[in-house]
Chain A
Amino acid sequence: MEQLLQLFILLPFLGLLITLVLPHKNERAISGVVIATVVAHLLGLVGFVANWLLNQSPTLDIKHFTIFEQDDIAIFIDFYFDKTTAVFGIIGSAIAVIVAFFSRTYMHREAGFKRYFVAFLFFFSGYNIVVFAGNFETLFAGWELVGITSFLLIAFYRDRDLPVRNAMKVVSIYRLGDVALILAMWMSHHLWHENITFFQLNDTAAVLDHLTEHQWYGVFIAGMVVLAATIKSAQFPFSSWLPRAMEGPTTSSAIFYGSLSVHLGVFLLLRTYPYWESIGFVKALICFIGLFTCVVATLIARVQPTVKTQIAYASVAQIGLMFIEVALGWHVLALVHFAGNAFLRTYQLLISPSVLSYRIHDMLFSFRPGPAEEHGTFLRS
């Protein structure tokens, strides 16, 4: 079964390569290939998970080819599958299907139709690499791809000044998180004297052993991982990039900042949980960040003038709660919470232009004059 895992990475890449060679005027072919890819991915993944559940859900881990090996350094690609992967994978594919169908009509006749779908598939590939990653190196490769494609889609309207400027801001903050992740990898190698895989982290006794010997290394690594997660999930004090990320077309905002990309911080914490669960200070830190973000983001969302940023901040507040859930060890709850938040924010962002319709246009048909209606302030209702 492990051998099948690589297919879920290769399929989006295959779709990407095919899309790259299609002529950019042929909208039907491009959108057809993209939709076929994501639908096939979703169906395949659902089938795989069904099979996996029937086999009593073993945790799968497979090491693919090694890129570099010397002494005790070995950089290799490793894939991993457990319930976190299953949930993140299926929801990622489902949302990708929804957004692909939406974008096919929405992006019609837009200059950059092909560019959009190429970036979309590129993002989807990167997301799958992160979700299926079995070690830090593979995760980092996917993490980078997600960051780069975020930049490409925020700066989709590259003729204008503001999207490009905001995209640079976003990618600069992302880089901070990437550096934190690299430092975590480096220090982790120092700690274990080998390149650890997430499967090996499941062995709690060994982890505890190592950490009690080298306490400060452990705290440093955990701190770096928390930093990377905080930046990716727009928790405080790194939330400033999220409103700036709404520069792209509505569909890209939906898929990135509503649902998939912004929850990768939670995913990172879930993945590295066996590692820092014994360090009380780190758990307290995560809880604090989550709680603080939740309160402040809710307050900020209440005073937002635009609808998309309001949804974005509300999403961040929920992710703050997810951070607390992960730190306290309630992982199933965190996964359910992720599923709910991802679908809700995707939906809300995709229909965010309708807010004018709901709040103003439809008022014409449902207006009932009150007993003493002097000024007819319909906004009161």
Chain B
Amino acid sequence: MTNRVEAFLRSIGLVKDFAPLVYLVAHGSSSANNPHHSAHDCGACSGRPGSVNARVMAHMANHAKVRELLNARGLSIPEWTRFVGSLHDTASDQIAFYDEHTLIAQHRERHKANITIWEKALDANAKERSRRFASIKTKDSLKNVRQEILRRSVSMFEPRPELGHGTNTLCIIGKRDMTKGVFLDRRAFLNSYDHRTDPDGTLLTGVMRPIGIVCGGINLEYYFSRVDNYKLGAGTKLPHNVMGLIGVANSCDGDLRPGLPVQMIEVHDPVRLLVVVEHRPEVVLKVIQTTPEMYEWYVNEWVHIVAANPDDGRFYYFKNGEFKPYQPLGQTADVVSDFYQLVEQAKEMETNGIVDATQENLPVYLLS
């Protein structure tokens, strides 16, 4: 148990300055009457919600014996820090907390206060998501939009309970300060990693090992389902017929339909993933060349990779086996003060046709 907790905390760089309550949030998705519901759940958990993992990890990190052993290894978690496992239901935008009864009184107060913050964040999340749903009026009040989103996740007739990883484009591995205050339109995978605790990149190897498979894999899944939905994707999910509990086919005959249905990928822009790593380029190069399985993602250009050098603040783009300096086209981004207004004013999709869905992506903004 100690090994797991240590690896986890060191890889995200959480080795000091612990807050009194640390939330471990897993993700799951609830939908009704949807043969593709596990496409929205956690793929690493074989199409199930990650709730069990969050709860187990919280239990391990709270364990007295584990903390003792971690202390001996140089990672000291203070007495008053408790880990709380939780589950974020990404379709209904709700959050559930596990083992709240194990919290002591002061923590319970703090936890209650935190729940208000969580709810506020979920309101904003629901509003941002509602922009992509043609059947929800984004301009409605926060409460109504949240209610509509919740209804979607339990509606038997809804073929689009959530859009999952649709529009995914970026994978940013670095300190969260790097992306603080940047509006990325929900298109980025965000990995926490602190280069200052890891100057030679040993922890970075562990962090980057699943990047190609998980993030790159997800991106390619959406990419291929988008560019050829008939052959590589699953077509529209309306005639899908569950075949033997192992797959879906259109009606009683024909092939099993792997890939994603139209309803999941119609908002997706088929671009390859751009991985941004906050470390020196020579270290990143060494890391991605650790195993051939990792390296083939980058050298065969399935995903792009850029090293954001913290030393000189410049970008180095990986091409033909080496990192070369890269000059971005734009030097500044627009500043936006009202987030909700930004979301509401995005241009509405003009037709129901699939090709027009990608013409309304918002560019990157800075939130003031």
Q: Which residues of A contact B (CB under 8 A)?
A: 25, 27, 101-111, 113, 156-157, 160, 162-163, 166, 243-244, 246-251, 253, 305-309, 350-357, 359-361, 364, 379
Contact = CB atoms under 8 A, between A and B. Distances in A.
A249 B239 contact: yes
B252 A244 contact: yes
Nearest to A108: B135
A108 B241 contact: no
Given A308-B252, A350-B156, A354-B32, A361 B239 contact: no
A356 B242 contact: yes
Contacts of B134: 108-109
A307 B240 CA distance: 10
B331 interface: no
Contacts of B368: none
17 contacts: A25-B352, A104-B157, A106-B238, A107-B238, A108-B160, A163-B251, A166-B251, A166-B253, A250-B238, A305-B243, A354-B156, A356-B35, A357-B33, A357-B37, A360-B245, A361-B37, A361-B38
Interface string B150-183: 0000011111100000000000000000000000
Given A106-B238, A108-B134, A247-B250, 8 more contacts: A106-B158, A109-B352, A162-B251, A243-B253, A249-B238, A250-B240, A352-B242, A357-B33
A309 B252 contact: yes
Given A163-B251, A243-B252, A249-B239, A355 B48 contact: no
Given A25-B351, A157-B236, A308-B251, A105 B158 contact: yes
Contacts of A249: 238-239
A51 B49 CA distance: 55
Interface of B: 32-35, 37-38, 48-49, 134-135, 155-160, 230, 235-236, 238-245, 249-254, 266, 351-353
B140 to A, nearest CB: 16
B239 A157 contact: yes
Nearest to B255: A162
A213 B249 CA distance: 56
A163 B32 CA distance: 26
A296 B157 CA distance: 33
B169 to A, nearest CB: 23
Contacts of B252: 243-244, 246, 306, 308-309
A109 B356 CA distance: 12
A250 B237 CA distance: 9
A308 B32 CA distance: 17
A327 to B, nearest CB: 30
A163 B241 CA distance: 14
Contacts of A108: 134-135, 159-160
A347 B176 CA distance: 49
A246 to B, nearest CB: 4
Nearest to B48: A364
A355 B240 CA distance: 12
B240 A111 contact: no
A244 B245 CA distance: 20
Contacts of A243: 251-253
A166 B37 CA distance: 29
Nearest to B351: A25
A156 B238 CA distance: 11
A278 to B, nearest CB: 41
B141 to A, nearest CB: 21
Contacts of B353: 111
A350 B156 CA distance: 9
Nearest to A312: B252
A156 B239 CA distance: 10
A337 to B, nearest CB: 26
B239 A105 contact: no
Contacts of A356: 35, 37-38, 242, 245
Contacts of B158: 105-106
B38 A244 contact: no
A308 B241 contact: yes
B245 A110 contact: no
A-B interface, 4 closest residue pairs, ranked by CB to CB distance from nearest: A249-B238, A105-B157, A243-B252, A353-B35
A110 B354 CA distance: 10
A250 B241 CA distance: 8
B290 to A, nearest CB: 34
A359 B245 contact: yes
Contact of B33 (A163, A244, A246, A351): A351
Contacts of B37: 356-357, 361
Nearest to B38: A361
Given A163-B251, A166-B253, A250 B239 contact: yes
Contacts of B235: 157, 160
Contact of B242 (A102, A244, A350, A353): A353
A156 B353 CA distance: 17
Given A157-B239, A249-B239, A106 B157 contact: yes
A360 B48 CA distance: 10
A364 B33 CA distance: 17
A352 B241 contact: yes
Contacts of B38: 356, 361
Contacts of A360: 245
Nearest to B254: A162
B18 to A, nearest CB: 32
B243 A353 contact: no
A171 to B, nearest CB: 16
